[in-house]
Structure formats: C-alpha cells, structure tokens
Amino acid sequence: MSITTTIGVVGTPRDRVDGRLKVMGAATYPIDVNLPGLAYAALVQSTVTSGRIGHIAADAAERAPGVLAVIAHLNTPSLARGPITPIGPQPLPPFQSDAVLHYGQHVAMVVAETMEQAMAAAALIEVTYQRDTPVLSFDDPRTSPVFHPWTPDTVRGDAPRALATADVQVRETYTTTNNANSPIGLFATVAAWDGDALTVHDTTQYPHAVRDSLAAAFGIDPAGVRVLVPFVGGAFGAGLRVWPHVTLAALAARVTKRPVKLVLTRAQMFTSVGHRPNTIQQLALGASRDGQLTAIEHVSTSSIGMADELINLITHGTPNAYACPNVATRATQIRQSIPIPGFMRAPGEAEGSFALESAIDELSYALGIDPIELRVKNHAHVHPESGLPWSSNALLDCYRLGADRFGWSARNPGPRSMRNGRHLVGYGMARAALIAYQPPCKAIASIRRDGTAFVRSGATDIGPGPYTVMTMLAADCLGVPIERVQFGLGDSAMPKAPQEGGSGLTGALGNAVHDVCVALVRAFVKLVSDDGASPIKGCRLEGITVRDGGIQITDDPARFETYAAILTRHGLDEMTIEAESAPPGETPAATMIARGGRFVPFTVPSTGARAHAGGYAAHFVEVHVDPYLGTVRVARVVSAVDGGRILNPKTARSQIIGGIAMGIGMALLEETVSDRTGRLATTSLAEYVVAANADVREVDVLFVGQPDSMTPLGTKGIGELAITGMAAAIANAVYHATGTRVRSLPISIEKVLGNDDPRTKGSEGGIL
Ligand code: MOS
C-alpha cells in the first residue's frame, strides 16, 4: 500500500506560468530591451522590384541631427551567409552588392541617437535605380524552376494508368495566394558588442540558428555570440530564418560601437520576415464506383525568391494521406521577383491540404458518397508506403466523435439544401494530418539546496506554452511542487534546442526535459545508495515515488527524504544533469519513464517495427452565406484532434483555436496583393485582413486518441494541425451552402458571387 500526496499536474488544464507577467506588461520582448547608450537603426527599402542600385544620395541624412552612420552596400564589409540548419538554408546576407531582387529589399540603413532621428534621416536618403523588368508570373519565359532536394517527387504504383482506367475521376486546379505572418509583436533586434563578443536580443524562434548565422556573418566564434529571447510576441514561422535585418542590427552596432536597436515597421514586416508563397496545384483523383481511391496525382508549383532556397512541403502529406496504391507527387518552385518567402504556420501542409481535401470533397459529390464515409473507406490503416502499423492513429475516432459533436447527421447532402433565414447554410469537413517530427534537443536540470528545481533549454516560447507545459512536466517527473519549479528558455547559452516550429517542440523539448529529470532523480538515487544516514538508502528507481520535493520508498511511506536534505547532508549546493532526448524509436538514456511520480520500464517500438505517426484531426465547419452579399461567415467549428498525450488541455486547446483563426483568415480573408510592377499594395493590417474576434465564433475542440508509443512522452505535434485542412473544410462548406466550388483562396465575395453554373445557381432568394 503506498500513498502519494503529489497531485500530477500533467494532463490537467493549467494557466500559463507566464500569464501574469504578460498581463502585467512585465514580460520583456526584444522590442522592450533598453541598454545604456542605445542607438537606433532605421532601414531604407527598395522602391523598385528588380534592377540595380544606381546612386545613394546620403549627404542630407548624414548631416541630419543625431545621425551616427549611414550604411549601404558600398561601405559594408563582406558578410558570410549563415550555415544551413536542419530546416534549410538562410537568406543571403544583406548589403553585399548593388543588385535589387525584390520590392522592399533593404538598401541602406541609418543609425542615430533616437528612433525618430533615424527614421527622419532615412526618409532623406534618395536612391536611384536601374530598373529591370521583374519576373512576376510562373509562365515568364525568363524564370527558372527549382527542384527541391528536400521534397523529392514521389511515385508509388502507376498513377497515370490507374487514373486512365478509373470509374470516376476528379481533375481540378487549386490555387492559394501569398499570405503574410502578422504577429502583433513587431520583429526587433537589439545588438551589443563587447570586443568580439556579441549579445543579441532578437525576435526569433531559433536562438541557436541566429547565433550560428551571426558568427558566420562576422567571422567570429559562435561561443562568443549570445542570443536572448525570453518572450517572442508571436511569429508563426516568421522567426524561423535569420533575416537580413538581424545581421544589419549587429552591423550597425559594430560600425557605431554602440548598442543598436532595430525595429521593423508594420509595413516592413510584409517584406522582411518571409511569407507563405502562392501555389498552383493540380490534383487528380481516380476512384472505383464504390468509392475506393485508385489514384492520386498532386503537382504543385509555388514561388520562391530570385536567389533563395526554401523547404517546400506542399505535396509532402499526400502520399500517405490515404490507402491508395497509385500515387505521384511533384513539387516545383519557380523563381520570382518577390520578397523572400519563409515559413508560415503548417508551411506547405496548409496549402497542400486545401487542394487534396477539396478534391476529396469533389469526389464525394461525384460518387454520391458522404464525405466522411469516403474518407473512412480510404483510411490508411497502415502506413501506405511502408505497410508498417502506425505508432498510433486515432483519425477514425476524429471522424466519428467529431461528426457526433458537430451534428453531421443533420446535414442534408445536397448543395444549397439548407437555410437559416435568408442565409444559405453549409456543412463541410476535412481531414488533417502532420508528419511526425522530433528533432534532437538538449536540456539541463538542477535541484538546489533550497528545494527548488531549475530546468532550462535554449528553446523559445512563441506563444503555445512551452514555459507552462515544461514546468508541469518537470514538476511531475521530479516530484517537486510546481510552484517550486522554474523553467528557463530563450537563451542560446542554454543547451542546444531546435526551433519552435514544425509542431516539433513539445516532443523534442518535452522528451529532453523528461529524460533529464529522470536522470536527475537517478543521480539522487545513486547519491544515497550507500548513505547510512538516509532513510531511503539503497533505493532503486523502480521502487520509489517522487513527491513533495523528495523521494519516498513506494511501499513504505515513512521512508522519505527531500532532495534538499540529501544535498545538505552531502554538502552540495545543487545537483545538475544535462541530457539529450533520444530520437523517436530509440530507447532513451533514462530507459524508465516517469508517470504519476513512479518510474516504470519503457520500451519503444523501433522505427523499423512501427511507422511513427504524427497528429491527426478532423475539422467540421458550418458556414452561413448571405446570398445577396456573398459574404461567408464561419458560424461554428468543431475540431476533433488526435494529439497523442495532451500535456495541458488548456494551452493545447488554445493552440487549436489559434490555428482555426488562422485557417479562417487563410480561407476567407488573407491575401498579399502586389501591383503589376511587383510593389506590395497591402502593407498594413487595414489592407492585409486577418481573422479578428468577430470572424471566429463558436469553436469546439475535442482531443481523442492515446499517447503515441514511439517516445517516452507520447505527445504529437498539434501547433499546425488546426490550420491544416481548415481552408478546405471551409471551402467544402461553402460549396455545400451555395453550390459554388471556389478553388482559389481566399474565398472572397466576388468568387462566391461568381457562380455561373446553371446547375447550381440559385433561382430564388438572392443574386448568388
Ligand atoms: Mo511553424 S511555420 O513551423 O513556426
């Protein structure tokens, strides 16, 4: 009989540990950093889209009050490009030539005593250009395709043949548009040199990449660069690459021998921190009359900058989405004179799933089969490529439980068949999946003589809540009350962590935190192994329960000792352990997993025995369409999510809500518009419209499924699951409501009103 008094916090809905700091305005974002002697940099950006810089007239700016330096390509030293990271190459370093490759390219920088002086002086700089004709369309004969080494074409079976002989075919083209990450926190960099050592406060999702990039740029030792970002202020992927302005802030500080702050303006955010590049996607599906998929072809073309390389995952999810014997995918990027694209929530998957899940919906109408039934019929019960069983897969539960919660059975299958007052009502749904992704991650954990625990890793928290869930996880693994646990991140001096991105951080960091905490408990167990003064002398990990800041013999509650008492007796201030997470499918160094204060043996199925599954979701959407105005309102969303083990249902639910909001924006509102010379017309949040509170109504999130078997933690990534498939679910609902199939995002009013199909055009109650 054993007694534990520690209540496990993992799995319970908890408020954010940093919530109070944020609400009080006490959280320090990079933009808030103030240093003695701080100077300010302001950027001058190209007003042309392609060409060469002719002359930069900087005299007036140099004479302007407070100006310390004007920097442009002619007085900039050679700066090396940052190293390639596991998520791809960095953009080219700034100010290295007179070439202008896109509108909004940084062409000069003013450093001054105040931000106002810097901006005023920047406005005095006159730049002349030799203009070239920009490349702005996929069919421009001057452009060149880039075939991507990271996303190879896939072929399984013989898709063209299977298509030719299929009972039913759907063959359509879908387009998605340029979208811009629009975090409320403007990206900022504060750089300060001390000799050859550089400290940078930077809005980034990846401190170690910023460290390595700046070290390369300035030819210094990465160990001499420290990147700090305890709070990010939103990023959604915009902070995954090391952008030219980051290097420019460090350059400005080097030139002026002053700490320098550089804050992008809202307009500059649209051209300086990447965007979701537009796509054209051809989707072809073949199926038997009874709804068995026989072929999938997915060909995508997307834009990329004139001198850039970017991982592109548009077709990546398609081969293993359904149990289909014949699949072919191809993804091509076409160089364009556009601001350098980057990553935006579920990069590639959000776009690819729009095409695939729209096409599946079209197939359901062509076959006269309910869209859920069609998906269930083609569910991949095993990994389609390898034939291996999944490490976990609750997609069927997502369909079933989501449909129940949504009330799908009330749906009349015919398009234009449901109304609410004058509004056309549509129900649509889509499948979503993410690949399993867990990059390597290190963490370090200490228990101190005062009984507190301090765990840290050089990761970031862009908002989803690593601060909170890692604090919870450490508290449970160590048996230290959560109030006595501190979790630190956002510092490249901490152990190396991957980016917060690709929905991979909870798994990566969580497994590192879990392993390091188990290792730390093990170190205490070892310390008391022959300690005659300890009531837990000779204990073993298998036989203990951690609780109340110490270790208890599970079967003998009277035998208990706190970590603090052990440290004190041994004359130690703290015990500290560093560890690295084991890759999925490999047994971690800990070999025991912490659950409910106990430690139980753990065996992972090897990667050769199971296919490591990512997260799954089914999204259900009700839209109301005004037949007179063509406006689409997402009245409610139900998302059923298989996220494996959910560490904190509250923050997890918030992540899904955020993804749904971005999905609504992607589906209905967001579009970066350029004029025919390639200049951006949408450079504020008045013109680039994101989903606001009024656009996001009822949202219901349910979590289904079991802990994944491939890692000790059992989590799956969820950060990008909600936007994946969301645009398709909305488009499918719009079709169901109106009979208008919009295959081009965003689903704007004119596209909804543009229905001229006599088979589905309304004859009554509206112009639609
Ligand atoms: Mo997300 S685009 O991986 O931050």
User: Mind giving me the DSSP string for 357-416?
Assistant: HHHHHHHHHHHT--HHHHHHHT--SB-TTT-PBBS---HHHHHHHHHHHHTGGG--SSTT
Q: What is the mean pLDDT of residues 670-681?
A: 96
Q: Which of 493-502, 506-515, 570-579, 588-597 has the lowest mean pLDDT?
A: 588-597
Q: Is the dihedral of CA 349, 351, 352, 358 positive or negative?
A: positive
The two three-digit tokens of residue 418, written as one number: 């449901």
CB 430 within 8 A of CB 439: no
C-alpha pair distances (Å), 124 with each of 120, 264, 521? 7, 18, 62
pLDDT surpasses 60 at 173? yes
Q: Where do we find the tokens 């969820």? A: 718
> CB of 341 closer than 6 A to ligand 1?
no
Outline where 479-627 has alpha helix (H): 505-527, 563-569
> CB of 347 closer than 6 A to ligand 1?
yes
For residue 400, the CA-to-ligand 1 centroid distance in Å is 29
Q: Give one DSSP letter per residue of 228-242, joined into a string.
A: E-S-----TTTTSS-
* pLDDT for residue 497: 98
Q: Name, in order, each residue with C-beta under 8 angstroms of 152's C-beta and a sequence gap of 6 or more.
A: none
CB 140 within 8 A of CB 709: no
Q: What is the largest CA-CA distance in the chain?
A: 90
* pLDDT for residue 606: 84
For residue 182, the CA-to-ligand 1 centroid distance in Å is 13
Q: Sheet with 99-100: list strands edge to edge.
A: 99-100, 51-57, 126-131
For residue 600, the CA-to-ligand 1 centroid distance in Å is 34
CB 562 within 8 A of CB 548: yes
Distance between CA atoms of 327 and 34, rounded to whole angstroms? 55
pLDDT surpasses 60 at 632? yes
> CB of 620 closer than 6 A to ligand 1?
no
Distance between CA atoms of 733 and 741, rounded to whole angstroms? 10
**Most ligand 1 atoms within 8 A of CB, residue of 203, 316, 720, 721 to mutate:** 720
The set of catalytic residues is: 720
Q: Is the dihedral of CA 462, 463, 466, 467 positive or negative?
A: positive
Count CA atoms closer than 13 A to 646's CA, side-chain side: 24
- 441 Cα distance to chain centroid: 17
Distance between CA atoms of 321 and 360, rounded to whole angstroms? 11
pLDDT bucket at 228, cuts 50 / 70 / 90: very high
**Most ligand 1 atoms within 8 A of CB, residue of 345, 351, 438 to mutate:** 345
* pLDDT for residue 766: 56
pLDDT surpasses 80 at 616? yes
A 10 A CB-CB count for 666 gives: 29
pTM: 0.96
Q: What is the mean pLDDT of residues 583-600?
A: 83
Outline where 602-748 has alpha helix (H): 649-664, 726-738
* pLDDT for residue 759: 53
State what percent of residues in the chain have pLDDT above 70: 97
* pLDDT for residue 149: 72
* pLDDT for residue 757: 58
pLDDT bucket at 7, cuts 50 / 70 / 90: low
- 714 Cα distance to chain centroid: 20
> CB of 598 closer than 6 A to ligand 1?
no
Size of the chain in residues: 768
> CB of 501 closer than 6 A to ligand 1?
yes
CB 494 within 8 A of CB 461: no
State what percent of residues in the chain have pLDDT above 90: 92
CB 194 within 8 A of CB 449: no
* Interval 406-417: pLDDT, tens: 999 999 999 999
pLDDT surpasses 90 at 225? yes
A 10 A CB-CB count for 129 gives: 18
pLDDT bucket at 590, cuts 50 / 70 / 90: low
Nearest to 240 by CA among 304, 303, 197, 187: 187
Ligand 1: atom nearest CA of 240 is: 4
Q: What is the mean pLDDT of residues 131-154?
A: 88
Strands 698-704 and 632-642: parallel
Q: Is the dihedral of CA 339, 340, 346, 352 positive or negative?
A: positive
pLDDT bucket at 754, cuts 50 / 70 / 90: confident
* pLDDT for residue 765: 44
Distance between CA atoms of 321 and 433, rounded to whole angstroms? 8
pLDDT bucket at 693, cuts 50 / 70 / 90: very high
CB 731 within 8 A of CB 652: no
Distance between CA atoms of 437 and 612, rounded to whole angstroms? 9
pLDDT surpasses 70 at 633? yes
pLDDT bucket at 454, cuts 50 / 70 / 90: very high
- Single-letter amino acid, residue 752: V
Ligand 1: atom nearest CA of 346 is: 2
pLDDT surpasses 90 at 592? no
Q: Name, in order, each residue with C-beta under 8 angstroms of 709's C-beta and a sequence gap of 6 or more.
A: 391, 392, 604, 605, 610
**Eight-class DSSP state of 702:** E
> CB of 343 closer than 6 A to ligand 1?
yes
